[in-house]
Amino acid sequence: MTVTVLFSARPALWPVYEPLLTKGLTKAGLEFRLGTEFDPDQVDYVVYAPNGGLLDFTPYTRLKAVLSLWAGVESIADNETLTVPLARMVDHGLTQGMTEWVVGHVLRYHLGMDRHITVQDGIWTPDAPPLAPERQVCVLGLGALGEACARALASLGFDVTGWSRTAKDIPGITCLHGEDGQRAALSRSEIVVLLLPDTPATEHILNAETLDLLPKGACIINPGRGPLIDDDALLAALNKGQIGHATLDVFRVEPLPADHPYWAHPNVTVTPHIASETRPTTAAQVICENVRRGEADEPFLHLVDRSLGY
């Protein structure tokens, strides 16, 4: 039987993904039709990104699964017209990119690189930083990306605490969960990395109260989702010195408006949503494997729990 795969994403991505998906589906031994336009009642799988414009899945009566090109699925997880399995993107290229970015910025804070790069006052101050085991780092969110970053930091010797909404057990990481666990994790952490999904339960997880739990002068790194942080509370904490510095890669509105206070704040580093992105080569492999699994009646990879939103 011929499988019909609809590519619904930003049109500029089609020339990139078409040969990769063709190669992967062929390698999987499938007979298939792959394209950007089909009658909805003929489609078996949708390769999906929110910028493709597809909102109503009701006409897709033969649909078996929606396979997201994005790790974040908050824009589709609550779509009431979507009644088939939804898989989010988890691929080793995206994970590698995120791990490199997070480790780089943790080391930047740990080693005090900003101070040594920007301060050229002719004063010789040989104040070496502590070693990694003396630096306490917290990773909020222990999904695929959070776990990978926590493991990489622990492998460098950092004292890593990971927090998640549900219990996790990761060798080498102090894993905490629940409200009490969150307070304990934050209260001991000099560097906090946010890698949680954007859900009603995680919005403003860093707010005036939780920011005050951190040791004075702590640093924030957010490559996760913009709504995880109460922006007004973070700016207030920065202004009073409770938070020493923040490196932010994601925002509620992107691109970040030119008049946003983050741009001009001396203790904020803005990066333009570059911590990690889907790599077409590896992402196409994940998509093709899930189509193969669907046709072989095997469980899909990386299914979203629609009740949790991730």
Nearest Cα neighbor of 144 from 103, 101, 191, 89 is 89
* Full strand arrangement of the beta sheet holding 268-270: 174-177, 159-164, 136-140, 191-194, 218-222, 243-248, 268-270
**Which residues are identified as catalytic?**
225, 273
Question: CB under 8 Å to 296, separation ≥6 — which residues?
Answer: none
Tokens at residue 118, please? 């920007």
What is the number of other CB atoms lying within 10 angstroms of the CB of residue 126? 4
Task: Transcribe 130-195 into DSSP letters.
Answer: PPGGG-EEEEE--SHHHHHHHHHHHHTT-EEEEEESS----TTSEEEEHHHHHHHHHHT-SEEEE-
Report how far residue 132's alpha carbon sits from residue 277's, in angstroms, rounded to the nearest whole number: 28
Rg, the chain, Cα only: 22
Cβ atoms 77, 309 nearer than 8 A: yes
Query: Among 279, 271, 174, 278, which residue's Cα sits nearest to residue 223?
Result: 271
219 three-state secondary structure: strand
Distances (CA, A) of 12 to 20, 62, 150, 275: 14, 27, 34, 21
User: Over the range 23-34, which residues count as b (16 or more CB within 10 Å of their CB) and which as e?
Assistant: ebbeebebebeb
